[in-house]
Structures are given as structure tokens and as C-alpha cells.
Amino acid sequence: MIDVKTIGKSIVEKVERSESHPDERTCGRIIYSGDGIIHVSGLSDVKYNELLEIEGGYHALALNLEEDCVGAVLFSGEDKVRYGDFVYTTGKTVQMPVGEEFLGRIVDPLGEPLDGLADIKAKELRPVEFPAPSIMDRGKVNKPLQTGILAIDSMIPIGRGQRELIIGDRQTGKTAIAVDAILNQKNEDVICIYVSIGQKASSLAKIISTLHNSDAMKYTCVVCSTADDDAPLQYLAPYSGCALAEYFMYQGKDVLIVYDDLSKHAVAYRTMSLLLKRPAGREAYPGDVFYLHSRLLERAAKLSEEKGGGSITALPIVETLAGDISAYIPTNVISITDGQIYLESELFNSGVRPAVNVGLSVSRVGGSAQRAAIRQISGQLRVNLAQYRELAIFMQFGSDLDAETQKTLSRGAKMTDTLKQRQYLNYSVREMIVLLAVSQSDLVDKVPERKMSTFVDGLLDYLHINYSELLESIDPDKKLSDELKEKIFRVAEEYIDCSLGEAFGQPRAEGEEQGSSEN
């Protein structure tokens, strides 16, 4: 039963809490409204990027300050505001409520919950536009951020505080890598923020359900603007997400933020700029489209120990068209970030997933943050793979090959197979060390071709079941001793010997049978 008295009481409370606006305000009148853009006359003391309030409770962002009018973009009420309505200045920029309450929630770029759960009572507000940490406040990137993806953690390592671009055509698994990285932060004490910019609501729903099902929402907040949101909201989304990330960073925590994706962000900004009649430049983007992304990504940083040592690791995503990374937005973001993970649709279609092009992908700062053991054993990996690829092109001519070349080819193919990894299947650091060590040793020559994936899965299971103490004894922060390496090789050999000819290539049932005979 709803008690009338409680309703009355809550109304009284709300009225008491109701803040009245200051008596003295600067105002103007709408002289044009169309396509979500308003022109306002008056507003003599308005500032750039100031939040405007329109009669009826709607808000707009002042972006063009001209001689006789102010151009602003509406956040809401495009079809409600009318010619002649009063517009007031607020003296504030757009602010995002921030706090621990946002973890596990799905919010819009203004901090309003979209998940149908309770109101978020945030105690603090942060401006969405905030200066990046100064040079002196920054520390060195020295701690790894494990994505759990072998190809990335071994060859394109990401450090906490780094900005690593994920770039590739549509349907190459860009978001999958970012989501995998979020899932892998479980028990790592990293707060994750997923910012969706102009994404399809259906794919966003899928990502959110993945995060829910993997219990990753506990440490994750999703800031979303979907494709049907107004351009100003899409434009604001990454900055809001970053404001939330900064709140945690300045508390000394590590944050991972994914911007999915910045090409749609640039498109939203282009929409606003063209409607505001700003001059169009290359590909019709406005002149400040570089600054749009550079000021956002500069806010991702690793703070020095004196400042608490927190960090924001940014994984911006950019979609290319037909693999063209020399287009305007991709080149801009590549030059801003500390490296890129380049995904190729050809690789994806030929079954190499994640479809990382190792040759074109780099990490400019992550190397120093890589765990010692991984750095030790993955040093030669890149060179070996490059050699393999070069040879593989020759192989297409079908000429007779000497034994040495054949060996290099078969090893390269097996290495490539080892780097294939199913989505949502993240390896721990110790598992990676074992896989890297074994797949680069002579042992792989015993594994039949095309059976490498089965071998990898089997070996890890075998290790977990029979030699978990060996796995535990690996210290990722120390170089792998020859003795330990020897032990790992012995186990791998044991597994190869007892499973050869049975597990590989046979139906699963036999593999299980053989598994039971081992025990």
C-alpha cells in the first residue's frame, strides 16, 4: 500500500531541497533552431563550452561565440524549444557526476542511469573537459596491463598508463580484443570503463550481457551513446567517460578505458561542426578534429608516485575502410597514441583470430612494462614470425625446398597456430610463459601440422591437472632459469609422447579415454 503521508513527506522534502537559481542571470533569446542547433541572441557574458539552460529545463552547449549571436548544440528537446524562448547562462561547463556508485552501472554521457536500476546518488561532480596531467605529474609506464591475449601480451605489450590504438576494418574483432582485455582485469584491481560512441544498440546489448555473464560488471562502468543519440551526446561520451576515469586515477587507482569507437566520434563532431557552419577541411572534418582526439587521449596517463601513482590506460578503437590506415582519422589517432594493434580482415577470414598483423602492430612504451620472463622468451618471436612470413610468400611458387627451409616454415605455421586464441579464453601470465617457451623449442617438430591448437589446449589442461605446482613455481617477474625451462620441456615432451597419435586428429571421445589412462 502506498501511504499518502509518505508521498506528502517526500514532496515536502523535495521542495525543501529544491535549489532556486540565482536571481541575477544573463539571458538571451533563441533566434534559430534546427537540426539540434540553436542560435541565441543576447548572452553577452557567455563563455566557450558553457552549459546553457533553456526555458523548460533543456540544456545546450555554447560552441560558437559570434559577434551578434551564440551558436549552441542541444542535448535534448530539439523538438520542444521554440523561437523566442529564453536561454540562460549557468556559469558552468558540462559536468559528469562521478563516484564508486557508477561501477556496475550503465549510464548516458550526462551520468543518468540507463539500466533501469536505482538513481545514482553521486557526491562529486567533475567537469567533462579537464586539463591533462602536467609533465611533472607524470610517471613512467612500468606496470603491465595484461590483456590475456597471447599475441598482444608477448609482442605488443601494453603498460598501465599507455594509449594503444586498436585499428582495423569492420568485423575484424576490434571490440572483441577490448572486451577480452576488460574481462581479463578480474582480480587485477583495475577499474574498467567501456565508452560506446554511436554504436548499434544491439551490439552494445551483446557486450553488456557478456560483461554481466562473466561477472565483469563489478568493476566496470558502461558509458553509452548509441547510434540514435543526438550528435552532441555522442561527442560528449568519451569526455564523460574520461572524467569518470580521472576520478579513480586521482585516487591512485588503475583504470582501463575503451573508446569504441573514435571514428564515429569524429563523425559526430563533423555533424555538429558542419551544422554550426564551421569551415570544413579534409574529408569535411573541421580543422580542430586532431585536437578533438589529442586532448582526449592526453588525459590518459600514468601519474607519478607523489601524485598517487594512479593511471588511465586508454584503448581507443578506430574503424578503417578497406584497410586504409592512411585516411585522415586513422593517421591522426595513430600519431597520438603510443602504438597500435592492427587487425586485418584477410587474416581474420583465413582463421587467424585475433587477426593481429604482427608486422604493422607496435607498442612504443609497453616493452619496459613487460614481465621479465615474457620479455625474455618473446624477444625472438617477432623476428621469427617475420622470417616465416617472408618464406611463406616464396613457398607459393611451389619449388623444392631444402630441409632447413621446410623446418622454418613448419615452425612458423605452428607458432602462428599457437597465437590463435578463442574469444573470451584468456591465458594467465604463467600459461603464456609455458606456451611461448614450448612453441619456440624443438619439441614442436614432434607435433603434427594443423594439430597445434589441440596441442596447446591439451598441454595447458595436462599441466593444470598433473603439474599445477610447476605452473605455480614460475615467477613472471624473474628470468626463466634453464632448470625451470628444462622442467617445462620435460612435461611438454611427456604430454606429446603419451598423446601422440591418439589425441591429435582423433575424435574427442578417444582423447578423453587417453586422458583417463594418464591418471
* Sole binder of another protein in the list 8, 44, 48, 324 (CB under 8 A): 44
Footprint of another protein on residues 84-143 (CB under 8 A)?
A: 86, 88
Q: Give yes or no for a contact between 86 and 105, defined as CB atoms under 8 angstroms apart.
A: no
228 near another protein, judged by CB under 8 A: no
Residue closer to another protein (CB basis): 125 or 498: 125
349 near another protein, judged by CB under 8 A: no
Number of residues that bind another protein (CB under 8 A): 23
Binding mask 55-84 for another protein (x = CB under 8 A): --x---------xx----------------
Whole-angstrom Cα Rg for the chain: 27
- Is 299 tagged catalytic? no
Q: Which residues contact 475 (CB under 8 A, 6 or more apart)?
A: 373
Residue closer to another protein (CB basis): 26 or 384: 26
28 near another protein, judged by CB under 8 A: yes
Minimum distance from CB of 85 to another protein (Å)? 13
Find, among 209, 289, 224, the residue nearest to 261 by Cα: 224
Residue 51, strand partner residues: 61
6 near another protein, judged by CB under 8 A: no
Q: Which residues contact 216 (CB under 8 A, 6 or more apart)?
A: 182, 183, 185, 186, 192, 210
Residue closer to another protein (CB basis): 15 or 322: 15
Residue 70, strand partner residues: 40, 65
Residue closer to another protein (CB basis): 67 or 306: 67
* Sole binder of another protein in the list 3, 23, 404, 477 (CB under 8 A): 23
The whole-angstrom separation of Cα 141 and Cα 145 is 10
* Sole binder of another protein in the list 3, 24, 402, 477 (CB under 8 A): 24
Tell me the HSE value of 246 on the side-chain side, using a 13 A CA sphere: 24
Minimum distance from CB of 77 to another protein (Å)? 13
Find, among 265, 321, 312, 315, the residue nearest to 293 by Cα: 265
* Sole binder of another protein in the list 36, 42, 71, 139 (CB under 8 A): 42
Q: Give yes or no for a contact between 221 and 114, defined as CB atoms under 8 angstroms apart.
A: no
Mark the segment that binds another protein (CB under 8 A) among 16-24, 348-356, 416-424, 433-441: 16-24
The whole-angstrom separation of Cα 346 and Cα 357 is 10
Vertex 426, ends 168 and 312: CA angle to 5°?
Answer: 65
Residue closer to another protein (CB basis): 23 or 79: 23
Compute how many other C-beta atoms are within 10 angstroms of the C-beta atom of residue 354.
26
Residue 506, burial from CB neighbour count under 10 angstroms (0-12, 13-18, 19+): middle
Among residues 138, 278, 295, 364, the one annotated as catalytic is 364
Residue closer to another protein (CB basis): 43 or 374: 43
Residues marked active site are found at 364
Chain residues binding another protein by CB under 8 A are 11, 14-15, 17-21, 23-28, 42-45, 57, 67-68, 86, 88
